[in-house]
Chains A and B, each alone.
Chain A
Amino acid sequence: MGTRAPCQMDRRALIGGGFALAIGTYPAKAEDIESITFDGLYKSFGVLGFEFADRVRALKSKRVKMTGFMAPPLKAESSFFVLTRQPLAICPFCQSDAEWPVDIVVVFLKAATPAISEGRRVSVTGVLEIGSTIDKETGFVSQIRIVEADVQRF
C-alpha cells in the first residue's frame, strides 16, 4: 500500500512533462448549456467496460455544465485537473496514478488557474469531448473530457 514516498515520486513523474496542454478550438456558444451528471454519464457500467449514455453521446462537442469534486491537482498552477464523483481524500498517487476511479472526467481549463478549489465541489462549464485520448505529456488516459472549460466553486 501506499506510502508518502511513492506519492511524491509519482507526482513528480507526472509533473515532469510540464503540462503543455493543447486547448481545443471549439466555437464558443453561449446558448443552451446542458447539464450532465456523474449518475447520468453511463448507459451501462461493467467490469469489462462501459457505455456512455445516449444523451451524453449526443452532447459530444457541445457546451455542457457539470459538477463534481476537484481532485488534488498535480501542481499548484495547472490547466488540467480531474473531476470526480466523490472527494478524493485518499490521494490516489499515494498508491499509484493508475488507481484513479474509472468514472472520472478530465477538465482542460481555458487558462492555468491556481488550484484554489482542490478537494471542493466545483461547477465546470466547457465543451464535451468523448473518446479515448492519451495526453502526450503525461500519458494520462481519459475517455471523457471537458475542454475550454471555466471552473467555479459550487
Chain B
Amino acid sequence: MPRFNTSSAFPLRKAALVTLILTGWLGGAQAQTIYPIDRADILEGSKFDFKVEFPDAPKPDAVKVTINGASVESVLGKAGTFIESEEGQKHSALWAREVSLAPGRYVVEAVQGDAKKTVVWNVFPASGPRKAKNVILFIGDGMSIAHRTAARILSKGWREGKYDSELAIDDMPNMALISTSGNDTIVTDSANSASAYTTGHKSCVNALGVYCAKNALSLDHPKVETIGELVKRKTKMALGVVTNTEIEDATPASMVAHTRRRSDFNEIVKMFLEVKPDVMMGGGSPNFLPKTTPGSKRSDDLDAIAKFREAGYTIATTKTEMNAAAAAGASKLLGLYNTGNIDGAFDLRLAKKGSVSKFPDQPDVTEQTRAALKILSANPDGFFLMVESGRIDKYSHSLDWERAVFDTIMLDNAVKVAKDFAADRNDTLIIVVPDHTHAVSLIGTYDDNRPGQLLRDKLGVYDKSLPPNYGPLDADGFPTDVNTSRRLAVVFGTYPDTCDTGKPFMDGERVPSVAGADPKTFVANEKDCTAPGAARKAGNLPFEANTGVHSADDGLLTAMGPNAEKFRGRKDNTFVFRVMAEALSLGGK
C-alpha cells in the first residue's frame, strides 16, 4: 500500500483520540463511576443499589452528587452513606441501598473537583393492566443457529430441500435477534447474560444480579433486583427454576442470586433459601448438604435439604419421585437428581455414558418441564417458570456437537409441552432464547463411502452434501442411531489443539484436548488422533484454552403469547426482562 495512505490516516486517528480523551472515555480508570451505569433501563419500583465511586479517596465535602439537578435524598428518598477510602482502597464511595424510582428519565451527575461524570437512566413503566397470567422463559444455553438447524434435520426429517415438520421453537409468531454483550466485554458468559434476562441490567463476566464495582468481596457489590425476587415480593404468583445443570450454576442462579462471582455455590444455595422458588429442579446436590455429610461441598453446617423440607417442600432425587410428587399435588418441590450436571439426552437415550449408571433414574428437561407445569399451574395467580437446557453450551465447549444437538431437541420437546399447555388459553407468554452463542456451523456431510482416507476426503460440500442416513426416530423425535455412514458435518470455529474424527463420541463426552507438558498449555487428545482418518488441527485459541469458547454472534429469540409482539428486529438481552416485566405488570404495586 502507498506510504501516503498511512500518513493521511494518522491525523484522523489522532483527532479521534483527542475526542475520546475530551469526553473522558479513555480516562475511565480515573473518573467517577456511577452504578447503575449509563443508559441503564430500570423497571419502575424495582430495587437497586445506587453507588458512586470517586477516585483518590476524597472527603465527602469534596464531591457532589445530584439526580436531575436535585439532591440524592430528594429523589431516592435516602441521602446515602459516604464511605471515605472504602475498604481501605484508593476510592471513596457513596451508597444508597435498595432504592427505587418512578418512571422517567434521570440524569445523575457526580462532581469531584473539575471532573464531572454524567449517566442517564431510563426508568420504564410496567404498571398497566397485566397482560399475561404466566410467563415461561426457556434458555438454550449457548444455543446457536447451527444447533437449531441440525436439530431440525435430525428430529424433523429433510426431503428435497424441505423439512417434514417444524420444531416447536421455530413455529412461533414472533422473533428477534438478541445481542448478548456484557458492559465490560464483547463476549459474555452465562452468568452475566442470564442476569441481563432476569434483572434487565447488563453487567460483567461472572456476575449475577450485581454491578461490578471495586468491592473486594463478591457479595458486596451493588445489587439489582431479580425477576424471581420481584415475582415473590410483588405478586402471589408461583415461581419455578428448572435446569439440567447444577441448580447453583449461572443460569438458574440468575433467578435469585447477587454475587460478583458465579462460583459462590454455597452462598447461592442460601439465596435460593431466601427467595424460595416453589419449584427448583436440577443437579448439584452437594452444596445442599451440611459439611459433615460425606459428599458435601459445603464449608458450613447448613442442611439446606432440611431447611426446604421444613418450609414444606417435597424432596425428589429421581424421576420417579418427581412424578409422584407432581401426581400427589405437591405445591413445592425441590428436585436434585445428580451430584453434578444431569446427564444430557444423548447419554440418557443412546450412549448411556456420563453418570447414567450412577444415577439411572434422572428426568430430562422435557419431563422436568411437564412436572413443573403441573405443580405451578395449580396457582390461581399464575406462575413464572425459567427452564434451561444448559448442556447445549457445555457440550459445545467440548466440541461435541451431537450431544449439544440432542439437548437442543430436548429443549424443543420441552417447549412443545409448554405450547400444549398454553394452546387453549391466551394468557401465557413463552420465550425461547439462548444466553449467548458458540462459533458453530453446519457445512455438509461426512460420507464414509466417499473415496480417500482423510476426513476431508469424506466431507461432502455443496452438491456432495447429501442428507445424512441416521437411524429411525424414537417416539420423542431423537434418532436411534447417529453413528451411521453419512453424518452431518458440524464444525466449530474455535478450538484448542485437537483431532477431529467426524464421528459421534459413543464412549463418553468428547475430550478435545489434554494438559500439555508446559503448565497451563493443552495439546490434542491423542486418543482421538489415532481414530481412522482423524484430522489434526493446530488450535486457534490462546494457549491456555482447553475447550471452545463463546461467540458474540447474536442469538435468535422466538416467542408467543401476550406481549410477545414486542420482539422484532434486534434487541439487547436486557429487553427480554422488560417484555416479561411489562407482561406481568411487575412495576405495579
Contacts and interface: CB of A to CB of B under 8 A. Distances in A.
Contacts of B295: 45-46, 48-50, 102, 143
Interface in B345-367: 358-359
Contacts of B525: 89
A97 interface: yes
Contacts of A120: 515
* Residue in A13, A72, A141 with the greatest tally of chain B CB atoms within 10 Å: A141
A33 interface: no
B263 A1 contact: no
A100 B246 CA distance: 12
Contacts of A148: none
A3 B549 contact: yes
Contacts of A3: 187, 189, 205, 549-550
Contact of A48 (B305, B393, B394, B511): B305
Interface string A1-32: 11111111110010000000000000000000
Interface string B494-531: 00000000000000000111110001100001000000
A47 interface: yes
Contact of A5 (B205, B358, B513): B205
B112 interface: no
Contacts of B520: 72
Contacts of A90: 397-398, 511, 546-547
Bin the interface of chain B by size: 35 or more
A97 B289 contact: no
Nearest to A46: B317
Contacts of B397: 1-2, 90, 94
Nearest to B288: A48
Interface in A117-150: 118-120, 132, 134, 139, 141, 143
Contact of A89 (B248, B261, B359, B514): B514
A98 interface: yes
* Residue in A1, A50, A72, A95 with the greatest tally of chain B CB atoms within 10 Å: A1
* Residue in B249, B263, B394 with the greatest tally of chain A CB atoms within 10 Å: B263
Nearest to A115: B519
Interface stretch (B46-54, B96-104, B165-173, B296-304): B296-304
Contacts of A76: 519
B546 A47 contact: no
Nearest to B336: A47
A90 B514 CA distance: 8
B377 to A, nearest CB: 26
B189 A1 contact: yes
Given A1-B393, A5-B205, A134 B546 contact: no
Contacts of B81: none
Interface in B541-579: 542, 544-547, 549-550
* Residue in A51, A76, A132 with the greatest tally of chain B CB atoms within 10 Å: A132
Nearest to A9: B206
A145 B263 CA distance: 23
Contacts of B298: 141
A58 to B, nearest CB: 16
Contact of B291 (A47, A94, A141): A141
B249 A95 contact: yes
Interface in A75-95: 75-76, 87, 89-91, 94-95
A1 B293 contact: no
A8 B545 CA distance: 10
B403 to A, nearest CB: 13
B142 interface: yes
B460 interface: no
B517 to A, nearest CB: 8
Nearest to A4: B545
A95 B340 contact: no
Contacts of A72: 515, 520
Given A4-B545, A47-B317, A99 B206 contact: no
A94 B547 contact: yes
Contacts of A9: 206, 261
A87 B511 contact: yes
* Residue in B286, B393, B512 with the greatest tally of chain A CB atoms within 10 Å: B286
Given A1-B550, A47-B339, A119 B296 contact: no
Contacts of B261: 9-10, 13
Interface in A58-73: 72-73
Contacts of B272: none
Contacts of A45: 295, 358
A99 B282 CA distance: 14
A102 B248 CA distance: 15
A4 B299 contact: no
A100 B287 CA distance: 12
Contact of A99 (B246, B542, B546): B246
Given A95-B263, A96-B265, A98-B263, A1 B190 contact: yes
Contacts of A100: 297
Contact of B206 (A6, A52, A139): A6
Chain A to chain B: the 8 pairs with minimum beta-carbon distance, closest first:
A96-B263, A119-B515, A98-B265, A89-B511, A47-B317, A49-B295, A49-B293, A1-B393
27 contacts: A2-B397, A4-B542, A4-B549, A8-B544, A9-B206, A46-B295, A47-B337, A47-B339, A51-B294, A52-B294, A72-B515, A75-B519, A89-B398, A89-B514, A90-B397, A90-B546, A91-B546, A95-B263, A98-B265, A99-B340, A102-B286, A102-B295, A102-B297, A132-B296, A141-B296, A141-B297, A141-B299
Interface of A: 1-10, 13, 45-52, 72-73, 75-76, 87, 89-91, 94-102, 115, 118-120, 132, 134, 139, 141, 143
Given A49-B293, A96-B265, A102-B286, 6 more contacts: A1-B141, A6-B206, A47-B317, A48-B317, A89-B546, A98-B266
